[in-house]
Structure 1
Amino acid sequence: MIAAIIFAITIILPNLILMALGFFMQKNGQASKAFIDQASSFVFNYCLPCLLFFSVINSEVDYAKQVILIMAGVAVTFILFIGSELYASRFIDKPADQGVFVQGVFRSNMAIIGLATVANAYGEQGLSIGAVYMGVVTILFNILAVITLSRVSKSAEDTWVSRTLMILKKLASNPLMIALIGAFAYKALALPPLTGVIQTTGNLLAAVALPLALICAGASIDLRSMLSPSGLSMQASIGRIVLAPLVAIGVGLAFGLTGIHMGVLFLMVAAPTAAASYVMAKAMGGNEVLAANILAFTTVFGLFGMAIGAALLRGMGLM
C-alpha cells in the first residue's frame, strides 16, 4: 500500500506544485490577468493541439481496447448527466442554477488536469490513449452542456436548430478537435512519420502545453470564491469530487477495464470541473458566480480526491 500511496503522490504532486507556482506568481504581481489570458490562449490554440497531434501520430495504441474505454467514458458521462439533471429538477428551483450545477458535476477538466495527470502516471502511452479518449468525450461534453444550459434562454431566436449549429460551429473551430481529427487522418492514411524540423518544433510546443496550462490554472484561482462556497456549489463539488470518481470505478469494473485503461478512465473522470464550464455558463446566461465557485473549489480539492482514488486503485492492482 505504501507503494500505491507513493504512486498517487508522484502523479498529483507535480500538478499541485505548478498550480501553486501560478498562484504565487499571481499574488506577487508576476502574472497579471492579461498574461494569464494570453498564455491560456497560446496554450489552447497552439501548444495543446501540438501535444495531442504528435501524441496520436507517434503512438502505437490498441484501438480495439480504446473502443471499450471510450464506451465506458460515454456511459459515465451519461450517468452523471442524467443523475445530476434529475437531482437539479427535484432540488434546485432557478433555471439559471440548474444547468450550471449539472455541468459542474458531469464535465471534467480533461484537457489540462486530466491529461497532465495521465502523463505523469503512464508517460507517452497514457498521453496517447488519453488524447483519443478526450477527443471523443469532448464532443459529448459540448453537446450535453448546450442542452442543460439552454433552459435559461429567453430569446425567440434560440431554437434547437440554432443550438445544433452552435455546437457544430464550436466543434469545427476547436483547435483541439482539429488537431485530433488531423492526427487520426494522418494515421489512417499510413503517411510516413514526421521527422526533422517539424517533429522538433512540435515537440517543443507540446512540452510547453501542460506546465504552462497548470501555471495559468493556479494563477486563476480565486481564494475568496473557493473558501466561501454556497450550498449549491458545495453540492456540485461533492458530485464532481466524490460521486464522479466512484461512478468511473463502477463503470470501469463493469466494462472489465484494468491497468492503464482503468487508470485513464478514472483520472479523466475524477479531474476537477472543466474551466470551459464557466465560459459557457456565462455565454449562455447561467449563474456565472455559481460556476466560478464550483470551478475554484474543485480545481484545488479535486486533486486530493484524485490522489486518494489513485492510491486505492493502485493498491488493489486495478490501475
Structure 2
Amino acid sequence: MPDTLLFTAGVTLPVCIMLLAGILLKKTGYIDDHFISVSSRLVFNFGLPAVLFFSLSSLDHSQPFDTDLLLFTCIATVTGFFLAWLLSLKVVPVWQDRGVFIQGAARGNLAVVGLALAGNMYGEEGIALLSLLMVVTIPVYNILSIVLLAYYGQDRSQQVSPLKLFQDIVSNPLIIAVLAGVLFSTTGLEIPAVIDKVGHYFARITLPLALLGVGGTLSLKALGKTSHVSFWASLAKVALLPLIVVPVAMLLGYEAMELGVLFLMMSCPTAAASFIMAKASGGNGELAANIIVLTTLASLPAVSLGLFVMKTWGVI
C-alpha cells in the first residue's frame, strides 16, 4: 500500500504542483497574460515539437512495434468523439454549443499534461510511446474538432472546406514533428551531438513552462459559472471515457506501460487548444473555458485514483 501511494503521488503531484505554481505566479503578478501568450506560442511552435521529435527520433526499431496499438488508439479516439456526440444530444439543448461540448469531452491535453504524466510514470520510454500514439490522435483531434465546430457553427448551412482542413492538419507543428521524428528514426541516421544536446535543452524546459502557462490561464472564477453542460463534458472526459476504454484494452491483453499510457491518454484534461478553436469558429468560448477548468481540476484526482487501483491490481 505505501509503495502504491508513493508511485501514484510521484506521477501526479509534480504536475499538480506546477499547475498550482502557475496559478500563484499569475495571481501574485510574477507572470501575466503577455508572458503566457508569448510562452504558449514558444511552447506550441518550438518546444513541444522538440519534445516529440527527439523522443521519436531515438526509437529503438530492433523491437517490433505493435501496430494494433496504433489502430486501437485511433478507434478509441474516434469512439470518444462519437460517445460525446451521443451525450450532447441528451444534455446540450443549444445547437451551437454541441461542437464545443463534444470537443471538450473528447479532446485531451496530450502534448502538455499527457507527456508530463507519461514522463513521470515511465521516463523517456513513456514519452516516446505517447509521442508515437499521438501520430494518430493529433490528426484525429484536429479533423473531428474542425468538422464538428463547423457543422455546429452559428450558421447551420456553413460548409467545411476540405482545403482549409488539409492546410490546418499539414501545418500543425506537432504533426510535423511527429512525422519527422518517425521518419528520421527509420533512416538509422544519428543526430549530431551538438544539435542533440541543444534540442534536449530546449525539450527539458518545455513541459515545466507549458504547465506554468496552463496554470496561469486557469480562472477559478469560471467555476461559479459552471453549467450542467460543462459538468457533463468534464465527467465524460475524466471518468466515462477511461472507464470505457481501459477495460476494453485489458480484455485485448494490453498491460504494463501500454495500458498505463492508454489510461493517461483517456483521462487527460481537455486541451487548451479547444478554447482557441471554439473562439475562432464563433462558438461558446465561456463553455469551452469552463470545461478546461473543470477537467484540469478533476483529472489529477481521477488519474491518481485510477493509477492507485490499477497498481493495486497489478495491471500496470
Same fold (TM over 0.5): yes
Tell me how far 1:61 sits from its aligned partner. 5.8
The letter of the residue matching 1:205 is F
User: In structure 2, what is the Cα distance between the partners aligned to 1:13 and 1:27?
Assistant: 21
SS where residue 272 of structure 1 aligns?
coil
CA–CA separation in structure 1 for the residues paired with 2:101 and 2:94: 11
Contact 1:115 / 1:268 at 8 angstroms: preserved in 2?
A: no
From 167, 179, 192, the equivalent of 2:177 is 179
Match 1:224 to one of 216, 221, 224: 221
Distance 1:234 1:166 in 2: 32
Task: Give the superposition deviation at 1:121.
Answer: 0.2
Distance in 2, Cα, partners of 1:5 & 1:235: 29
Tell me which of 145, 164, 167 is aligned to 1:166: 164
Q: How many equivalent residue pairs?
A: 316
Match of 1:199 among 196, 201, 206: 196
Bigger relative CO (Cα 8 Å, ≥ 6 apart): 1
Alpha-carbon distance change, 302 to 62 in structure 1, aligned in 2, over 3 angstroms: farther
Which stretch of the first structure deviates more once superposed, 130-139 or 56-65?
Answer: 56-65
Q: 1:286 to 1:206 in 2, by over 3 A?
A: same
Q: Are the counterparts in 2 of residues 15 and 113 from structure 1 also a CA contact under 8 Å?
A: yes
- Are residues 1:34 and 2:31 paired? no
Q: Is the CA contact 1:104–1:295 (under 8 Å) kept in the aligned structure 2?
A: yes
Indicate how the Cα distance of structure 1 residues 231 and 165 shifts in structure 2: closer, same or farther if over 3 A, else same: same
Separation in 1, partners of 2:246, 2:5: 18
Q: What CA distance in whole angstroms lies between the structure 2 residues aligned with 1:116 and 1:251?
A: 25
Instruction: For residues 127-153 of structure 1, give each alpha carbon's deviation from its aligned partner in whole angstroms, at most 9, with x where no partner exists.
Output: 111101112111111111122212233
* Contact 1:152-1:285 at 8 Å conserved across structures: no
1:271 correspondence with 2:265: no
Letter in 1 for 2:307: A
* Aligned-partner Cα distance in 2 for 1:62–1:49: 25
The answer as to 2:278 corresponding to 1:284 is: no
**Alignment correspondent of 2:238:** 241
Task: For 2:63 and 2:132, locate their aligned partners in 1 and report how far apart those are by CA, in whole Å.
Answer: 9
CA distance in 2, matches of 1:34, 1:91: 36
* Identity among equivalent pairs (%): 33
1:93 partner SS: coil
C-alpha separation between the residues in 1 aligned to 2:19 and 2:225?
20
* Correspondences of 1:20-59 after superposition (within 5 Å): 20-59=20-59
| Whole-angstrom distance in 1 between the partners of 2:154 and 2:40 | 32
Distance 1:203 1:66 in 2: 27
Per the TM alignment, residue 188 of structure 1 is displaced from its structure 2 partner at its CA by 2.1
Structure 2 match to 1:101 = 101
Q: Please tell me the root mean square deviation across aligned C-alpha atoms, in Å.
A: 1.7
Q: Unaligned 5+ residue runs, structure 2? A: none
> In structure 1, what is the equivalent of residue 152 of structure 2?
152
1:317 lines up with 2:304 in the alignment: no
Whether the aligned pair in 2 keeps the contact of 1:278 and 1:292 (CA below 8 Å) is: yes
CA distance, structure 1, for counterparts of residue 155 and residue 229 of structure 2: 26
Q: Deviations over 1:213-248 (max 9, x none)?
A: 001111111010134411111111111121012122
Q: Take 2:227 and 2:97, find their aligned partners in 1: how far apart are those partners?
A: 12
Are the aligned partners of 2:238 and 2:266 in contact in 1 as well (CA < 8 Å)? Answer: no
Q: 1:71 Cα deviation (Å)?
A: 2.1
Q: Alpha-carbon deviation of 1:93? A: 2.1
1:188 is aligned to 186
- Offset at residue 159 of structure 1 (A): 2.2
Letter in 2 for 1:140: V
Q: Distance in 1 between matches of 2:28 and 2:122?
A: 34
Indicate the SS of the match to 1:47: helix
User: Does structure 1 retain, via aligned residues, the 8 Å contact 2:122–2:257?
Assistant: yes
Which residue identity is paired with 2:134? M
Structure 1 contact 152–284 (Cα < 8 Å) conserved: no
Contact 1:75-1:251 within 8 A present in 2 as well: no
Shift in Å at residue 79 of structure 1? 2.2
SS in 2 for 1:257: coil
Quote the Cα distance in structure 2 between the aligned partners of 1:238 and 1:53.
33
Kindly state the Cα deviation for residue 197 of structure 1 after the two structures are TM-superposed. Answer: 1.2
Gaps of 5+ in 1: none
TM-score scaled by structure 1?
0.94
After TM superposition, the structure 1 stretch with the greater mean CA deviation from structure 2, 58-67 or 209-218, is 58-67
Moved more, 13-22 or 146-155: 146-155
Match of 1:262 in 2: 259
Query: How far off is 1:290 after superposition?
Result: 0.5
1:302 maps to what in 2?
299
Q: Deviations over 1:277-318 (max 9, x none)?
A: 111111112211111000011112211111110111111111
1-side partners of 2:40 and 2:123: how far apart?
23
The CA distance in 2 between the partners of 1:213 and 1:282, in whole Å, is 21
Instruction: Compare 109-118 and 244-253 and name the one that shifted more.
Output: 244-253
